[in-house]
Amino acid sequence: MRLDEQLMAFPVPVGEQEMSPRDAMLYALGIGIGIDPVDKGQLQFVYENDLKVFPSMAVVLAGPGFWLKDPGTGVDWIKVLHGEMGMVLHRPIPTEGKLVGQTRIVDVIDKGENRGALIFQERTVTDAAGEKICTLTSTTFARGNGGFGGPAKIAPDPHQLPEREPDGTVDLAMVPQSALIYRLSGDYNPLHADPDIAIAAGFERPILHGLCTFGVACHGLVKAVLNYDSSRLKEMRLRFSAPVYPGETIRVEYWKDGNTISFRALVVERGLVVLNNGCAIVA
């Protein structure tokens, strides 16, 4: 069976989660919110009085786990990379209650022999009553699975950033233990904690989770563009371009065009773009 047929037929596990205020606060701390503990804009996401769930937590809700590791998928899981991530928020994320995540494979694109494949996924997260909370989209780059004979397809073009200078920037410092905090929100990949495994994978030390960097960029936009009124953020998507090391400073550059905010993120210390082709829709 071809890889695309195999994946389309694979029963992706249903994700279930009991959301709690503690989960919301721990997630926010993991992406660096609360680094200024007297900033009331940040405090609303890390303190139980009138607690709000930070919107980018959507990406870790009711996930199916690392299902691509299952031999039944046909995917060389050691060579997979997270390529793109997007979220659409249908309503504010509740601070507590049962959440259910249903994941489906939308498409699989064969890039060719020695060029890998692209796996497009969509996850819908609902509450116990079946009411939609968010829809999540992601693209996985399966580097070891190209040339399986799939039909010729062209991947969608990413969002293009404006060619003018950014309308603004915001710098967010990450603490050295940020990956160790963030992993407690559900991603226990040892690449983000074990120095020996990180070195074996080609990194000088454990790297930050890509979805943590996603959350940091979201924090930058909520802070600089929305003045911490997170309810105005409706959609956000981006492309991952390079890893971040815990303790580095992430600079978010943004362009405002009506309700569309284009953005990218770079590491100040290395001058390296780590998130690109970002687009957010705000109310």
* Maximum pairwise Cα distance, the chain: 57
pLDDT of residue 202: 86
Residue 192 among the catalytic residues: yes
State what percent of residues in the chain have pLDDT above 90: 88
Domains, the chain, ranges and CATH? 3-142 (3.10.129.10), 168-282 (3.10.129.10)
Residues 63 and 124: beta-carbon distance below 8 Å: no
pLDDT tens-digit readout, 139-187: 999 989 999 988 878 888 999 999 999 999 999 999 999 999 999 999 8
Q: Is 187 a catalytic residue?
A: yes
- Overall pTM > 0.75: yes
The answer for 11, left when phi > 0, alpha when psi is -120 to 50, beta otherwise, is beta
> Cα separation of 196 and 117, whole Å?
29
Q: Which of 4, 23, 110, 192 is catalytic?
A: 192
Query: Could you tell me the CA-to-CA distances from 93 to 58, 102, 240, 263 in Å, in that order?
Result: 7, 16, 24, 24
Q: Please pick, among 187, 196, 209, 229, the residue that the annotation labels catalytic.
A: 187
The average confidence (pLDDT) of the chain is 95
CB 82 within 8 A of CB 140: yes
The pLDDT of 62-74, averaged and rounded, is: 93
97-112/80-89 β-pairing = unpaired
Count the neighbouring beta carbons within 10 Å of the beta carbon of residue 266: 22
Token code pair at residue 165:
């200078």
By the 8 A CB rule, do 170 and 264 touch? no
| pLDDT at res. 120 | 96
Nearest by Cα to 230 from 89, 59, 22, 96? 89
